[in-house]
Chain A
């Protein structure tokens, strides 16, 4: 029997554990009330279920605040604090320790889920989907609050209270991004629970028309924007801490966050077909079930330790529980969808190939193949190990890039043509007239890039497709401006959704250019420098080691090399943390530039700091990835702004071939 509470040993731990158990009780009650409200169409039960969400949110908030107070107050009678924090850490590390290990991160997840459920309970419309959407949210809550309160409780009593904690994971003390990336990622993952809950409600009630899609659009977009920002923030984090000058290594856990993004992006586009044309109903249900299940799969991979990854937490009892929940989600989702399959038929004629729908579907096809590719690559070594009994395969970037580059280029191609095409059906001639400036611009840009000395096929194609996309979006915006008259601001306020999407596409183009150039033209060289010796020529820079020094902090040591590169000083560190033994954690010095970054990392120090080995990495356009993401998120944010009513102008409506 699990020993959950001890009042004597830890008052704070008991408070946290009690509030979690109370939250679990309210979750159970709420689930029951929501189901009763759904089955008996009892508005009072539904209302009670809705209010029970508030109690759940309040209680989970109380427990997470308790844990935060324990962390900040160094209360080592609380298990999680004893195991993952210590007195000497700076305050921001203590704060981030909340999600720096398994139990805390699941508690954060549960809290965010409760928060989303709380917001949903305030905005929920009074419709037939209401009780079942609540019930589905409760099902997710039941799982997360349930494991927080039991197998993964951060508050279970300790046999002995230590004088100081074991301290946080050394790899997670290195950079402030630790405060940003996991929070964003969970906001993205958890946000997909809401459209999932609505899809389940639509399936249960059989009200499968397009209502649920319209209701959840904002939720999906918000989750998607968080997910996008989180994935790139994770890339930035690895760029700033892992010391190899890269931002994406196709690591299993990176992949696990990327698969939901691919599926959510496909979903964002295909729900527009349902919204506009009432088509793809069953497809959308499948997509959101898969997208939500893939977030749980990602967590399972991350937490169970079945895949080898730099990010994985140590295994524990939580792995099988997550696998069970994943199986439950898939079985329940697929079962419901199969049961309702006869009702999921589309009304109206199927989409034509040459139409906005056709382009969206072709994009969906590529997104799904992409997701399948990443999933297969991630799980393949584990599957082979399960079958053969030994770990005998690795899947590295060579495999992923072989598919990701053509698929990414294909997506860029569809991204340009989609907004040009009208809904329903495009005339071949009209399409050609709309398309040729784009193709011309793309070919022209590729030729210019070739003339400037770029030879990589992938980079040339990216440059061409970027120009093609930008010209397409520019022409569409220019036409909208001419038809409407007035300025850009007015246009944005009238059609935030369309132009937000355009802006997000522009951001993706900027990102694509950054990814293509930084991976194709990255230069990397190593050298050993002596203090005070003559400057050394490396890549396009001159390097001189000005000095080395050591900084001792209570929680670790930093060895610092001060290197002058072309007249500018760089201080690159090698940190060791007291929990990490001798394992060095590099902290590179990066000079960000619009056209390229100079990245210096120290790999070894000589005796008494007389020499240091450094690695110099120069990669062009890396910062375009970060700026591009900012543009994407701004664009996604713009699509959420409610449009201002336009003065009635019938002619403009008819003249515009491309609609939202």
Chain B
């Protein structure tokens, strides 16, 4: 996948005019408040293709401005979120999707914390439900910290006393 990175980057000096232009354009595009919020939410989940991990709503370069304007136009045209995301994925690659899709490889990503939650919960539940006899049967290590069984007993009792 070719990233449109270098080819579209313009010298920074040229940033001012397009910015003013795009501001002009975006204000001419009449969106309702709900639509504006929706466009912003979608923009938050689209990565600026030439920055390090910034969404297009935060980045100030031309390509982000263009993409954001594109989002607003598509929102105004009544396209669904999924349609807009797949449009950008087709144009710039899955790379720009900051909210990774929950299919294919993405299932691994979204599934991992859930698997950890489930597995950890199971281990914890089994540990807390373990019968006391099972632990009592466990032999203490042959070389505990204390060589003296009496001292060990005293420590055990002292600990119990502290808990009371």
Interface residues of A (CB under 8 A from B): 206-211, 244, 246, 249, 251-252, 276-278, 308-310, 312, 342-353, 358, 361-362, 365, 368-369, 372-373, 376-377, 380, 384, 390-399, 403, 423-424, 526, 528, 581-584, 603-606, 613, 653-654, 659
Contact = CB atoms under 8 A, between A and B. Distances in A.
Nearest to A278: B159
Given A350-B132, A604-B19, A362 B11 contact: no
A53 to B, nearest CB: 25
Contacts of B145: 207-211
Contact of A395 (B98, B143, B162): B98
Contact of A350 (B98, B128, B139): B128
A-B pairs, top 6 by smallest CB distance, nearest first, are A396-B98, A398-B99, A209-B145, A343-B141, A582-B12, A373-B113
Contacts of B134: 350
A659 to B, nearest CB: 7
A132 to B, nearest CB: 14
A395 B3 CA distance: 17
6 contacts: A345-B141, A346-B135, A373-B116, A396-B45, A584-B12, A613-B20
A394 B53 contact: yes
B48 to A, nearest CB: 11
A614 B90 CA distance: 33
A131 B3 CA distance: 55
Nearest to A576: B12
Interface residues of B, number: 61
Given A276-B162, A582-B13, A361 B128 contact: yes
Contact of A369 (B113, B129, B143): B113
B159 to A, nearest CB: 6
A316 to B, nearest CB: 18
A350 B1 CA distance: 54
A425 to B, nearest CB: 10
Contacts, number: 167
B110 A399 contact: yes
Contact of B105 (A278, A384, A604): A384
A399 B109 contact: yes
Contacts of A278: 156, 159
Nearest to A388: B105
A362 B124 contact: yes
B164 A365 contact: no
A210 B146 CA distance: 11
A342 B141 contact: yes
B15 interface: yes
B117 interface: yes
B72 interface: no
Q: For B54, B117, B120, B162, which residue has the most chain A Cβ atoms within 10 angstroms? A: B117
Contacts of A398: 44-45, 98-100
B60 A603 contact: yes
A606 B15 CA distance: 11
Interface in B124-147: 124, 127-130, 132, 134-136, 138-146
Interface string B1-43: 1010000000111011001100100000000000000000000
Nearest to B138: A345
B19 A350 contact: no
Contacts of A246: 58
B138 A347 contact: yes
Given A209-B145, A348-B135, A310 B53 contact: yes
B53 A249 contact: yes
A412 to B, nearest CB: 17
Contacts of A210: 145
B66 to A, nearest CB: 16
Nearest to B117: A369
A612 to B, nearest CB: 10
B38 to A, nearest CB: 14
A292 B11 CA distance: 44
Contact of A392 (B1, B99, B109, B121): B1
Interface in B145-164: 145-146, 156, 159, 162-164
A358 B128 contact: yes
Q: For A343, A362, A376, A605, which residue has the most chain B Cβ atoms within 10 angstroms? A: A376
Contacts of A346: 135, 138
A464 B52 CA distance: 37
B113 A244 contact: no
Given A350-B132, A423-B163, A654-B164, A396 B112 contact: no
Contacts of B146: 209
B69 to A, nearest CB: 13
A310 B144 CA distance: 49
A373 B44 contact: no
A606 B20 CA distance: 9
A450 B3 CA distance: 46
Contact of B1 (A368, A390, A581, A659): A390
A587 to B, nearest CB: 14
Given A309-B53, A346-B135, A392-B94, 18 more contacts: A208-B141, A249-B53, A308-B52, A343-B142, A348-B156, A350-B130, A369-B117, A393-B97, A394-B94, A396-B45, A396-B97, A397-B44, A398-B100, A399-B109, A399-B110, A403-B113, A423-B163, A582-B13
Contacts of A606: 16, 20
B40 to A, nearest CB: 8
B87 interface: no
B141 to A, nearest CB: 4
A352 B163 contact: no
A387 to B, nearest CB: 8
Contact of B23 (A392, A393, A528): A528
Contacts of A581: 12
Interface in B90-110: 93-100, 105-106, 108-110
B116 A369 contact: yes
A372 B1 CA distance: 29
Contacts of B13: 582
B15 to A, nearest CB: 7
A458 to B, nearest CB: 15
B53 A365 contact: no
Nearest to B59: A244
Contacts of B106: 393
Contacts of A604: 15-16, 19-20, 60
Contacts of B136: 349
Contact of B121 (A349, A365, A380): A365
A377 B53 contact: no
